[in-house]
Structures are given as C-alpha cells and as structure tokens.
Chains A and B, each alone.
Chain A
C-alpha cells in the first residue's frame, strides 16, 4: 500500500475499439472484413455494436480504478472517443482515422495501434471487436502483451473474449491491481468471410494470445477450489502420456492441451499444426490432410486421433484442424477418436454440445451422440456431440 508522500505508479492500459465490428451481423453480412462490405453494411442500416459495448466496460473500469490507469487509446473512434465519453483522459496513440480523408478505419489501423502500444510498454491491451480484430492484433504483436477482448463482433470463433463487457472490465481491473494474476493462452481464430457468405465455413487457427483469468477461488473447506488451468491441463497430459502404446500412430491435433501432451511425451508438438507421433517421436510435423490420410492408411486399425475443443464455440472437428479430413475420420472410426479437455473447458461451454463440422454430413452424423472426454488422471467425462 502506498504511504503518504509516495506516488503510486499508474498502470498502462492500451485500448483499441474496432468501430465497425458487429455491424454486419444484424444486416446479414457475416462480418466487416473489407471496406466494400462496411459501406454495404452502412447502406443496409447496420449499426456498430462495439463503441457502446466498449463504453459499458470503460465506464465501469473508470469508476473502479480510473485514477490508477494511464490509458493509451487508438485515435478517434478507435478508442479515444469512447474513452473520453467514459471519463478517461486518454493519450491517443497510432495513426488517426486510417490516415485518409474518408475517416474510415481499417485493419491496418488496428495493427499500427497495437504495435505502438507494445512499443509504449502497456501492461495489457483491452480491445472491442470480433474475430477479425483479434486476428489483426495478433498479427501485429503476437503474444507480446496480455489482452482482454470485449465481445462485439459478428464472428466469434476466437476464445480471447470475456463473456460480456462488464466481465471484461472486472478482469482488466483485477489484472492491473494484481500483475500476478495467472494468464492462459486462448485461441485466435478467423473464418474466411467470402467463403462464409457463400455458405461454407472455413475457420483457421491463427495463434494464441495470453488472457488473464480469475479462478473461482477457495470458498471454504467444504467446496474447495478449482485446480489451476495449468495443473488441470498437466493432469490431462499425464493421463494421455500414460495411455500411449508402442506401434500405435497418434494423430495429434492443434492446441495448448495437445502441446502439453507432447511435453509429457518428451517431444516438441507444434501449437497450431497437426503432428504425427509414433513410438516415442514425432514422425511428421504440421502435416497436410494428404499426409494424415497416408499415415492413417499405413497404420490401419492402430491409429488414435487426439483432439481438443478449439475456439470459443467448442468445435472438436472442422475449425482449425481441417487437416484431419472427414475421410480419415471415417476410416479410423469413432472408437479411434480421443477427445481431451480440462473439466473447466467443458464447463465453459455452459451445456452447449461439442461441435463437429467436418464438411461431410455422414461423418458428422457418425460423430454425433455422446463421447468420452479425457479430463484428468483416471478421469473422464461423457459429453454430447452435435453437428
């Protein structure tokens, strides 16, 4: 606690609002990745969702901790305006209004603002937007700085968002007050909007950003406290490492849970790719669908496909792991599928089923129903899978 005469150092917070995020949703445009679509959205009467949601979070943050925060905001409608409206006196950082005369903002503005904030040494970037916004920030600064997303977009496959604006404000407040708050890596995903408008979904896993989280801590001796995400994930990894048998091929999907299994097995598993593991080593990294198919064909009847839910929606197939094709899943069979996830990850689905969208309705049908999920050492859950 600061004593008299001592000036408490302010925490530095970056703010990026994608002012057009969420605009395409209500007018059926599935997102606003290009300026052409933005103009179309405006013409159809689309209203931006993100400024209002950002202001909800910022007002709460200002009331709770405004004095202790130095706010670095992207200029104009990209954060500065919302910050001022919420009571902050932000320092504008980055290039205003896309740098052209139209006042339109674009993905490059988001990227430039994020880069400038990291250079200025912010403790965390708070942003409001959708998958495109998360992806732009990730592409500029990777996981150099923790982030918290205010959900405001149309496409929400990424997992880096708080459940609502006020929850985002709570998280930022707690993180700024306690820099030791644990961080977890969560998925940044985006779908191809053009393909989406044509009726097909193709979501790619771009990477992971670090997001602070608050465990539901101890309540009393009777109810105990949740294990940390880290220890729960390690328990899942230990269990899988224990189950590995010689001569058997393991197709390991993307994700931090699978990377953790790699660590337990003593191998370096790629975070975003599908790797093939057999007899103590990774025999091929970041493989294509054709390579997976060939390997599974060569190991007929002796294959396990290990996957974890990817992204905020709970997809086990068809988002970020399309390298595992429907024909391979069909050939290997449902019994060869091993789903791994911490209990908290399942709980975060709030009763929604795990999803499959392999691109082949028959395979989706085959996978639908109930599936065992490995959740820890000698622990499994049974969970519903739906197409």
Chain B
C-alpha cells in the first residue's frame, strides 16, 4: 500500500567552504611553550632533511573552535544519510543500518590507540579478530583463505585481477592469457580493475533475458582467456542461472573465475561462491557486513581464494603458530601489498561484531528479509504510472531492481534525472539511476536491504507515487526540482569539464578566478 509522504524542508545554511572562512590570527587552541624537558631535547624539525621542509607555512584556514564546530554541524544538517532517512535509493550500494554498538566497540581506546607498527605480542587481540574473521569468511563463502588488507571494493576486485595475473605468470602463460571476460551489468570495477592490471577486457552484453548466456561466452573463450570477473545477481537484480555452467566453461578453457560479491545481500547463507566453482571472490565489509561506507573512506574488502591460489594473496597475512598470532611476511609468491600497513582493522572489527551478533541463521535471515523487502517494493512500484520492470516482469529480482521510467518520459518529457532530484524534496536520498553504460532507458535502481520496515517501504512508495502524479500533472514545475532540499539543481556539466573541475583547493582557486 502507499504510505504517507512528509512535509519536509532541509536546512540551507549557504555555508562557505572552510578555506574561505576565518581571519588571520584566529586560533582554536593556544599552544603552550614547550616544557623544559622538550626544549632541552632540541628541535625535532631539525631531523627533517632541508630539501623536504616547506619554506612557508601551509595556507590553512584560521578559525576558533566553535566556528569549526558550527561549520561541520551545519554541513551535517545539509546531508542525508542512513541514520536520518530510510535509504532504499542507493541501489547496488547496500545501504543498511550500522548498529551503533559496533561503532562503540571500534572506538574503544584499545582500538583507537593501536599502532600498526607495534610488536605482534602487544596486539594479539586484534590479530585474533582478523584471523577469526578470515575463518568466518571461509565458512560464509566456501573459500579456503582470506586477505582483509584491501581498503575498498574496487581495490579488492583489483586484488582479484592481480591474483589471476600472478597465477598465469606462475604457469608461464601470462603473455598468452591476456583476456578477462566480464558482463555489462557487473559493477564497472570488474572491467576497470583488470584493465589497470594490464588485461584486455571483453564485455558480454545482456541477452533477451537481461543477462548474457553461454552462447555469447563461447564466442570469446580461447587459449587467450585469463578469467571471468562478474557479479551475480547483476545490477538489474536478475540472477543469471547459467553462471555455474559459464564458470565451468571458463575453467575448462584454462581461465580462473572471480566472483565480485561486493553486494552479497541476496545470497547470504543461501549460495556460496566456493560451492559454485569460483576460484576467488571478494566482499565489501562496508556494504553487506553493515560497516558504514564512511563516504568513500574507511572500507574493507575481504578477498577470498581457494587453496590453489592461497600463495598469491597479498602479504602480510595473519597466521597462528604455537598459540601466537603473527603477521606472515614470508610469502614469496604473494602479489605484494595492495595497501599500507595491515588494512582497516576498525572496519573488520565492526563486521566481526555484526556476524557474531547474528550467527549463521541470522545471516540467512538478512538475505531472506532483503529479498522479501525488495520484492514487496517492486510489487508496489510497478503499480505506479509510468514505471516498468525491464525484461520479463514475472521473473523475480533478488535484492535490487533496475526499473525504467521510459513510459513516463515518453508521456511527459520528464526524465529520470528530474525524478531523482525530486526525491530530495521529500527528505529522501536521490536515487541511483544506473552505472554506465546505460542499457536501460530512464533507469532507477533501488535496493531496500533488510533494514527498512514495512511502514518505511510504504512511505518510499508514496513518495514515488506523488512524484509520478506531479510528472503527469505539472511536468514543468517538477523539472525545476529540488525546491526544499539543501541545494538547488547543480550545474553538473562542470563536474567533468577539465577546465572547470577541481580536485584540490589550489586548482579550485585557480579555475574560479
């Protein structure tokens, strides 16, 4: 049923960038003179080589403590996040509740005061967590060994590509096996990272069912095949039932198969990568395992391999000998480090706590609830005028759906980009349209996960219903949305214009003048 929508208006602070704020001489903290002991020990800066010292002080903004605090409080008021709004919008991102108790655990001084270069015997506790979590991941995925070093999903997928390359190098076939096969609806990192690793990338396009099948795979398998790197279900939420056969065919041709399980929310406790025949895989702990995404910050990818690939995993790995945990650097066949130090242990700890709280049955319940929520949402959404399920609408999607507003666009001229901006006027996250390339017209990709209640799902449907109604009754007003959000429409063509984009403050200052 359709839920009630909210009367909402976001905070709008017209807040400048912090580097444009403050005035010379303002300070947050007045630092005391160094005490005599430190003074006696000399100037620590002298240890820095002359050619590495800056000649002038960095141009940092000068503000008082409370000004800094207000600045970030205001910015926080102008964001939407899972703790503020039920986010079914960020399809493929698996936005779920991150239990606050896990956050508290990760903020214990025993964790925050750790240093990665401490002696092993002084951090046996966190090493045990990393070691045990690797074992849990083996049970969850059917793999034999894990690395928790990569700090993002894409880095984990890249690690998979590097392991595939190392495997073929070890067999003297690296020069011959140069082709990685992926699918158009897999995450773009499944194409991008093998490309960075030096492979040629071949993309299978979807067939009439919305996913590619054996036929198109057979057309490209050869002795040049290095491997297959895919997601399943794909971005569409459709599960490719031919994948086990495709995995077998790739392996028969001499390739390895990597399962990108960044989003495993539809499969937890139901299907294991290892049982399906995959050689290696990766999971995003900051998606499926409830650790926060941290705005592209502190993530972790768990990279799992079958035993025949274990020697190629990044080093160091945590191992156990005579009741002591140690970082094993003695791994001559390893692809090396993919990340400084030992990974984001706080993220691993949060995921560990989450799995321990749920247990095996709980994990399965996560997948079942996520799939049921998604199918309830889909059943309600297809009743809204102008939206369709591409391909066969009777085939169930798993944890997410890529919908199409093509009908509404043809009827009203309103695009999916207009619709998604309007979401913000109801206090909901703008929705994910699609990864590129766009194979679905006027796409919308939603994923409610297990964390949304029936009332929240109904509210979400109510908002989409209201937006569709407005598109049909007053399309021109809708195209100007958002009106009640923290910002107006952004001139987004500037984001990818090299003359206008700015990745650094220095570049911004130069280009805005």
A interface residue numbers (CB < 8 A to B)? 60, 63-64, 163-164, 166-167, 169-170, 178, 216-226, 343-344, 346-347, 350-351, 369-372, 375, 378-384
Do residues A347 and B439 form an inter-chain contact, with CB atoms below 8 A? yes
What is the CA–CA distance of A372 and B411 in the complex, to the nearest angstrom?
Answer: 36
Q: Is the CB of B476 within 8 A of A63?
A: yes
The verdict on B460 contacting chain A, using a C-beta distance below 8 Å, is no
B496 and A217 within 8 A (CB): yes
Please list 7 pairs of residues, one from A and one from B, whose beta carbons are closer than 8 Å in the complex, sorted by A's number: A217-B493, A217-B495, A217-B496, A218-B495, A224-B436, A343-B203, A370-B215
Whether B203 pairs with A381 at a CB distance below 8 angstroms is yes
Q: A216-B436, A217-B493, A219-B433 are in contact. Are A167 and B203 (CB under 8 A)?
A: no
Chain B residues proximal to chain A, CB less than 8 Å: 90, 93, 184, 188, 191, 195, 199-208, 212, 215-220, 296, 409-413, 415, 417, 432-439, 441, 475-476, 479, 492-493, 495-496
Give complex CA distance A382, B184 in Å. Answer: 10
Beta-carbon nearest neighbor of A59 in chain B: B413
Do A223 and B436 have beta carbons less than 8 Å apart? yes
Q: Is the CB of A380 within 8 A of B203?
A: yes
Asked if B200 contacts A382 (CB within 8 A), the reply is no
Given A351-B439, A379-B200, A380-B201: A223 in contact with B220 (beta carbons within 8 A): no
Pairwise interchain contact B436-A369, C-beta atoms closer than 8 A: no
Chain A's closest residue to B418 (CB) is: A170
B residues less than 8 Å from A223 (CB atoms): 432-436
Q: What are the residues of chain A within 8 A of B212 when measuring CB–CB?
A: 382
The listed residue (A64, A225, A344, A383) touching B205 by CB distance below 8 A is A383
Chain A residues within an 8 Å CB radius of B439: 347, 350-351
Complex A-B, nearest 5 residue pairs according to Cβ-Cβ distance, in ascending order: A370-B219, A166-B413, A347-B437, A218-B495, A381-B203
Q: A64-B476, A218-B492, A370-B215 are in contact. Are A350 and B437 (CB under 8 A)?
A: no
Q: CB-nearest residue of chain A relative to B293? A: A222
Contacts of A170 in B (CB 8 A): 413, 415
In contact, A378 and B205 (Cβ under 8 angstroms) = no
A108 to B441, CA, bound (A): 37
A384 touches B496 (CB 8 A): no
Nearest residue (CB) in A for B208 is A351
Task: Tell me if A's interface is mostly helix, strand, loop or mixed.
Answer: mixed
Indicate which residue in A178, A225, A226, A382 contacts B202 across the interface (CB closer than 8 Å).
A382
B274 → chain A, closest Cβ, in Å? Answer: 27
A378 and B496 form a contact (CB under 8 A): no
Q: Using A64-B476, A224-B188, A384-B205 as known contacts, say yes or no to A378 and B437 having CB atoms under 8 A apart.
A: no
Q: Are B413 and A60 in contact (CB under 8 A)?
A: yes
**Would B492 and A370 count as touching, CB distance under 8 A?**
no
Q: Is A380 a contact of B200 with CB atoms below 8 Å?
A: yes
| Nearest CB of A to B267, in Å | 21
A225-B495, A382-B219 given; name 19 further pairs at CB < 8 Å.
Answer: A166-B411, A167-B409, A169-B413, A178-B493, A216-B438, A217-B495, A218-B495, A220-B432, A222-B90, A222-B432, A223-B432, A224-B188, A226-B438, A346-B437, A347-B438, A370-B220, A372-B220, A381-B205, A382-B203
Query: Nearest CB to that of B410 among chain A residues?
Result: A164
Q: Taking CB as reference atom, which chain A residue is nearest B184?
A: A381
Residue of A nearest to B413 (CB): A166
* Measured CA separation A378–B188 after assembly (Å): 15
Q: Which residues of B contact A220 (CB under 8 A)?
A: 432
Q: Which single residue of chain B is at the shortest CB-CB distance from A342?
A: B437
For B496, the chain A residues whose CB sits under 8 A away are 217-218, 225
Contacting residues, chain A, for B216 (C-beta < 8 A): 370, 382, 384
Q: Which of A60, A64, A217, A372 contacts B492 (CB 8 A)?
A: A217
Q: Across the interface, name the chain B residue whose C-beta is closest to A56.
A: B413
Among B212, B492, B496, the one with the most A-chain Cβ atoms within 10 Å of its Cβ is B496
> Do residues B413 and A369 form an inter-chain contact, with CB atoms below 8 A?
no
A344 to B207 Cα, complex, angstroms: 17
Q: Is B219 within 8 A of A369, CB to CB? A: yes
Complex: chain A residue closest to B439, CB-CB: A347
Question: Which residues of chain B have C-beta atoms less than 8 A from A382's C-beta?
Answer: 202-205, 212, 216-217, 219-220
Q: Which residues of A contact B479 (CB under 8 A)?
A: 64
Q: How far is the CA of A226 from the CA of B188 in the complex (A)?
A: 12
Cβ of A69 to closest chain B Cβ, rounded Å: 15
- A110→B114 CA distance, assembly (Å): 78
In the assembled complex, the Cα of A346 lies from the Cα of B216 at a distance in Å of 15
B442 to chain A, nearest CB (A): 10
Chain B min CB distance to A209 (Å): 23
Q: Which residues of A contact B409 (CB under 8 A)?
A: 164, 166-167
In angstroms, how far is the closest chain A Cβ from the Cβ of B107? 26
CB distance from A108 to the nearest CB of B (A): 33
- A67 CB, nearest partner CB in chain B, Å: 12
Which one of B195, B208, B434, B438 lies within 8 Å of A379 (CB-CB)? B195
Nearest Cβ distance between residue A313 and chain B, in whole angstroms?
17
Q: Which of B202, B296, B437 lies in contact with A372, CB distance below 8 A? A: B202
Separation of A343 and B202 alpha carbons in the complex (Å) = 12
A379 to B351, CA, bound (A): 36
For A63, the chain B residues whose CB sits under 8 A away are 476
Bound form: Cα–Cα A7–B407 in Å: 38
Q: Which residue on A lies nearest to B90, using beta carbons?
A: A222
In the bound complex, residues from chain B placing their C-beta under 8 Å from that of A379 are: 191, 195, 200-203
* Distance, CA A169 to CA B409, complexed state (A): 12
Which one of B90, B93, B199, B436 lies within 8 Å of A225 (CB-CB)?
A: B436
Closest A residue, CB atoms, query B406: A163
Is A343 a contact of B493 with CB atoms below 8 Å?
A: no
Closest chain B CB from A181 CB (angstroms)? 9
Return A57 CB to nearest CB of chain B, in Å: 9
> Which of B203, B204, B207, B435 neighbours the largest number of chain A CB atoms within 10 Å of its CB?
B203
Contact of A346 among B202, B205, B434 (CB under 8 A): B205
In the bound assembly, the distance between CA atoms of A164 and B433 in angstroms comes to: 20
Report the separation of the CA atoms of residues A178 and B436 in the bound assembly, to the nearest whole angstrom: 24
A164 cross-chain contacts in B, Cβ below 8 A? 409-410
Question: How far, in whole Å, are A351 and B440 apart by their CA atoms in the complex?
Answer: 9
